[in-house]
Chains A and B, each alone.
Chain A
Amino acid sequence: MELLVRLILLPPILVAAFNGMMGLFSPAYRKQEWLLGGLALAAVAVPFAVTCMLFFGFEGAEVVRYFTWLQAGDLRVDFAYRIDELSLLMTMIVTGVGSLIHLYSIGYMHGDSGYWRFFAYLNLFIFAMLNLVLAESLPVLFLGWEGVGLCSYLLIGFWYTDLKNSAAANKAFIVNRVGDFAFLLAMFIIFKTVVDAQGGVFGLDFATILRPETLALFAGPTGFWVTVLLLIGATGKSAQIPLFVWLPDAMAGPTPVSALIHAATMVTSGLYLLARLSPLVLNSGALWIIATVGAVTAIMAATVAITQNDIKKVLAYSTVSQLGYMFLAAGVGAFFVAIFHVMTHAFFKACLFLGSGSVIHSMHHVEHELEHKGLIPSHHGGHGTPHDSEAEQNTLRHSPLPYDGPFDAQDMRTMGGLRKFMPFTAITFGISTLAIAGFPLLSGFFSKDEILFRVFEFGQSAHIGYMALWVVGLITAVLTAIYMTRAYLLTFEGSPRWPDAMDTHPHESPWTMTVPLVVLAILATVGGFLGLPAVFGENASWIHGWLVGHGDHLGPVADSLDPLWSAVSPYELEHHVSHGVEWALLGLGAAIALVGIGAAVFFFRFGKRGPEADRKARKVFGLFYTPASHVWGWDQFYNATFVKGTVEGARKVFAPFDKNVVDGGVMGLAGLVRGAAGRLRGLQTGVVQTYALAIVVGVVAVVALVLFV
């Protein structure tokens, strides 16, 4: 087992170091794209294979301990990793989806000057993420948590020559700091509480924290505040209100990064944290906060997603919204459902992002071709002959684009009709759209339905207020179906809207990009059968048995209404929801998805109507549409409150301080040295006999000192 965990953790970090170092020092190595990408892919595929082996031969939770990391007073943190049902499932998702995205990146990043850098960062990310999900203690988890944050920062700002991208990277990093600070505080409180009560050496390991006598310490207000702080940490990483603002901007990074980090894995680590500590969270009395944050985020982000024109922005807000769903599930104590949705979401959202990347890839080719024909101004510049600039002005005057501004390969308003040119991308994107919209029997249908069902059940048994959140969840489901169908129709259906569409054709992407799409689309189709609802039988939900427990075997994830966990959960199932009602709810879920899809299809006339339909929607729903298209003013709010004050403060207080005190100090010291040297240089006469005299005088003085004193 020790060796196997090493085989999971070490390949990514070793290959990251190798590719990084070789790329840094050997320009020849940078050109070996297949070698570089193949190594990076192998460094994720090997852990995936090992994880599969552990997964299918799983016999019981195990902790592997390597060496002590920190030791100070009562604190002793070991590098220890936990292999159990939850960590194995998360590792499967991370390495499985990670492998596919590595394969995809080999094609997507082809020809980029930072190819080596990209794969080094990506492998480093995988290492940090594995650290996060396999950690046996909070500090080691935090190490991974910060590691993925760092890699996210590096990859958002991957094309750092554009100031916009590095600003987005900074935003992500700084906003995440807020959450990380809360996470740290939560760890401090846990440490202090446990050491005060139990004494002895404590390393914030889960085995100790989740012991019943330790959990009893967190039953009161301490547990409440710990949970709230952990939740703030999770809202940072998992992009929930109030800290979600970084995720849409994070789309500045390369698209595979958006798929891997900002959709499938890193952003779910907040959920993983809550699920890992679920017995503590369940009994904290803060569940309603988690549920409310999740529901409000879900509907808010869904309304924004409808108004976006950038295909990646739609998917970004969709991710925020789906993460809100997961928090809603966690907020009713159904942590395994949250993890179930993490899994299905990883499949279809990774597929959607990779599909959008494929689209953007081909639209870039269209852009280059149009520039070559002189139909749109070249943004590369460089060859500014008078003739060219005249042509540019002409094209600017009669802009051939369906909107003002330069050509944007990510803008859905220039797309349309791409299905004819890129069949694989269109079909896989379409399947994933149906899956996220909750089309019956696809993966998203089961996971989303299970979430809504659990909210409904919890509303019946625990507090009627949750029924309001259930309604919010239902509305969000309609909105999800609408915005995703809209995105699909605008991109792939109807007729092309880019200039010179008769002669300028995009092309399907290479096989390295389409194979991951197909695999993910298949997973997005069948992934839902791992969590069949209870109407199909008592133990129909594999994931429930795996994570929560079956028979008298307790899994790693607590559940609010499961009798297995009645010792931990303060809630109990009071009103058993009958199978009839459950069938009805399933039908309602299916109907809602179909209504949403149908409404969008009708409104866009199956793609025949393009952006003009959006303009119409803006006119009709202006009251909601306009604020939603401005993200309900969140960025303005933060700019007005925190950003402006900080920047002004920096400009008015810290800049003068730096200039006068810090710089003044340094310059003063330099001046002192310079002045002293100016006086002392006179001693250096250059005549060797003066020096000899000095030596003689010195010797005489020393001898005199020795002899006479």
Chain B
Amino acid sequence: MDLTWYLSLSAVLFTIGVLGVLLRRNVIVVFLSIELMLNAVNLTLVAFSQAFGDVDGQILVFFVMSVAAAEAAVGLAIVIAMFRNKLTINVDELRLFRG
């Protein structure tokens, strides 16, 4: 199978993730988009690993997944705390750091 297909799919997924982070206001959707970006990268790693017969890329994917799990736990906790304080989860309504 041609490596190009995998990479193209990964590029599409990554772009969707980027656009989601930049354009969506709901913080949970932003969060999902970040996961999408991470998994796009995972796909690339696995594809290259398969193509070059090197297992390193697959090992790295496990690390990425475990970090992503931890990130999800912390991130959702932050979202809950945010909602309790502000009663909203729209990122553009939270601009305390405006200069």
Binding site for B on A (CB under 8 A): 680-689, 692-693, 696
Chain B 50-99 interface residues, beta-carbon cutoff 8 Å to A? 91-92, 94-99
Residue from A680, A685, A693, A696 within 8 A of B98 (CB atoms): A685
The 8 Å CB contact of A693, one of B22, B92, B96, is B22
Q: How many A-B residue pairs have CB under 8 A?
A: 32
Query: In the assembled complex, how far is the CB of residue A707 from the closest CB belonging to chain B, in whole angstroms?
Result: 14
Is there contact, CB below 8 Å, between B18 and A689?
no
With beta carbons under 8 angstroms apart, the residue of A680, A683, A684, A689 that contacts B22 is A689
**Does the CB pair A686–B95 fall under 8 Å?**
yes
The yes or no answer to B41 lying at the interface (CB within 8 A) is no
Given contacts A687-B91, A687-B92, A688-B91, A682 and B99 within 8 Å (CB-CB): yes
Q: Give every chain A residue within 8 A of B13 (Cβ-Cβ).
A: none
Decide: A689 near B91, CB < 8 A? Known: A696-B18, A696-B22: yes
Residue numbers in B under 8 Å from A693 (CB-CB): 22
A689 engages B98 (CB within 8 Å): no
Complex contacts, B18 vs chain A, CB 8 Å: 696
Beyond the given A684-B98, A689-B23, A689-B91, could you list 20 further A-B residue pairs with CB under 8 A, ordered by the A residue number?
Answer: A680-B99, A681-B99, A684-B97, A684-B99, A685-B95, A686-B94, A686-B95, A686-B97, A686-B99, A687-B92, A687-B95, A687-B98, A688-B91, A688-B94, A689-B21, A689-B92, A692-B21, A692-B22, A693-B22, A696-B18
Q: Which of B21, B22, B23, B98 contacts A686, CB < 8 Å?
A: B98
- Minimum C-beta distance from B36 to chain A (A): 14
Note all chain A residues with C-beta closer than 8 A to B21.
Answer: 689, 692
Q: Least Cβ distance of B22 to chain A in Å?
A: 6
Find chain A residues with CB under 8 A from B94 CB. 686, 688
The residue in chain A whose Cβ has the minimal distance to the Cβ of B96 is A686
Within 8 Å CB of A680, what residues of B? 99
Tell me the bound Cα distance from A687 to B23 in angstroms: 12
In the docked arrangement, what's the CA distance between A314 and B18, Å?
91
B94 to A: closest C-beta gap in Å:
8
Query: What is the bound-complex CA distance between A687 and B98, given in angstroms?
Result: 8
Chain B residues, Cβ within 8 Å of A684? 97-99
Question: In the assembly, what is the distance between CA of A685 and CA of B98, in Å?
Answer: 5
Contacts of A696 in B (CB 8 A): 18, 22
Residue on B nearest A688 in the bound complex, by CB: B91
Bound-state CA distance A680–B21 (Å) is 25
> Complex formed: what's the CA distance from A49 to B85 in Å?
76
Residues of A within 8 A of B99 (CB): 680-686
The smallest C-beta distance from B91 to any residue of chain A, in angstroms, reads 5
Contact with A along B8-37 (1 / 0, CB 8 A): 000000000010011100000000000000
Tell me, in angstroms, the Cα distance from A378 to B49 when the chains sit together: 95
| 21 A–B contacts from the bound complex (CB under 8 Å) | A680-B99, A681-B99, A683-B99, A684-B98, A685-B99, A686-B94, A686-B95, A686-B99, A687-B92, A687-B95, A687-B98, A688-B91, A688-B94, A689-B21, A689-B22, A689-B23, A689-B91, A689-B92, A693-B22, A696-B18, A696-B22
Chain A residue numbers with a CB within 8 Å of B23 are 689
Please give, as numbers and ranges, the residues of chain A lying within 8 Å of B98 by CB-CB distance: 684-687
Report the minimal beta-carbon distance from B53 to chain A, rounded to whole angstroms.
Answer: 26
Count B-side interface residues using an 8 Å CB cutoff.
12
In the complex, A681→B97 CA distance in Å?
11
A682: B residues at CB distance < 8 A: 99
Task: List the 4 shortest-distance A-B pairs measured between CB atoms, nearest first.
Answer: A684-B99, A686-B95, A686-B98, A681-B99
CB distance from B32 to the nearest CB of A (A): 15
A680 to chain B, nearest CB (A): 8
Q: Within 8 Å CB of B92, what residues of A?
A: 687, 689
Residues of chain B contacted by A689 (CB below 8 angstroms): 21-23, 91-92
Shortest Cβ gap from B28 to chain A (Å): 14
CB neighbours of A688 from chain B (8 A) = 91, 94
Q: How far is the CA of A688 from the CA of B22 in the complex (A)?
A: 9
Q: Which residues of B contact A687 (CB under 8 A)?
A: 91-92, 95, 98
Closest residue of chain B to A685 (Cβ to Cβ) is B98
CA distance A682 to B94 in the complex (A): 17
Name which residue of chain B comes closest to A693, CB basis: B22
Give B12 Cβ to nearest chain A Cβ, in Å.
Answer: 16
A696 — nearest CB in chain B belongs to which residue? B18
Q: Which residues of A contact B95 (CB under 8 A)?
A: 685-687
CB-CB under 8 A from A683, the residues of chain B are 99
Q: How far is the CB of B24 from chain A (nearest CB, A)?
A: 9
Smallest CB separation, B75 vs chain A (Å): 13
- Determine the distance from Cα of A688 to Cα of B92 in the docked complex, in whole angstroms: 7
> Which of chain A's residues has its CB closest to B93's CB?
A687
Inter-chain contacts of B91 with A (CB < 8 A): 687-689
A684's nearest neighbour on chain B, judged by CB, is: B99
Name the distance in Å between A354's Cβ and chain B's nearest Cβ: 69
CA distance A693 to B97 in the complex (A): 17
Q: Which residues of A contact B97 (CB under 8 A)?
A: 684, 686
- CB of A700, distance to nearest CB on chain B (Å): 10
Q: Which residue of A lies closest to B19 (CB)?
A: A696
| Docked CA distance A696–B15 (Å) | 11
Say how far B52's CB is from chain A's closest CB, in angstroms: 21
**Distance from A702 Cβ to chain B, minimum over Cβ atoms (Å):** 15
In whole angstroms, what is the CA distance A693 to B24 when docked?
12
Instruction: Return the chain B residue nearest A681 by Cβ.
Output: B99
CB A704 to nearest CB in B, in angstroms, measures 15
Considering only CB atoms, which chain A residue lies closest to B91 in the complex?
Answer: A688
What separation, in Å, do the CA atoms of A696 and B98 have in the docked complex?
20
Chain A residue at minimum C-beta to C-beta distance from B27? A688
Give the CA-CA distance A692 to B17 in the complex, in Å. Answer: 12
How near does chain B come to A686, taking the closest CB pair, in angstroms?
3
Q: How far is the CB of A306 from chain B (nearest CB, A)?
A: 77
**Most central of A683, A688, A696 by chain B CB within 10 Å:** A688
In the complex, A687→B92 CA distance in Å? Answer: 6
With A and B bound together, what is the CA distance between A528 and B99 in angstroms?
84
Count chain B CB atoms within 10 A of each CB in A682, A683, A692 and give the residue with the most.
Answer: A692
Q: Which residue in chain B gives the minimum CB-CB distance to A680?
A: B99
Most A CB atoms within 10 A — which of B21, B98, B99? B99
A681: B residues at CB distance < 8 A: 99
CA distance A693 to B22 in the complex (A): 6
Complexed CA–CA distance, A138 and B23 (Å): 78
A686-B97 Cα distance, complex, nearest whole Å? 4
Name the residue of chain A whose CB is nearest to the CB of B21.
A692
Per the bound structure, the CA–CA distance linking A514 and B1 in Å amounts to: 109
Expressed in whole angstroms, the Cα–Cα distance for A689 and B91 within the complex equals: 8
In the complex formed, the residue of B with least CB distance to A682 is B99
Chain B residue nearest in CB terms to A691: B97
In the docked arrangement, what's the CA distance between A686 and B95, Å? 4
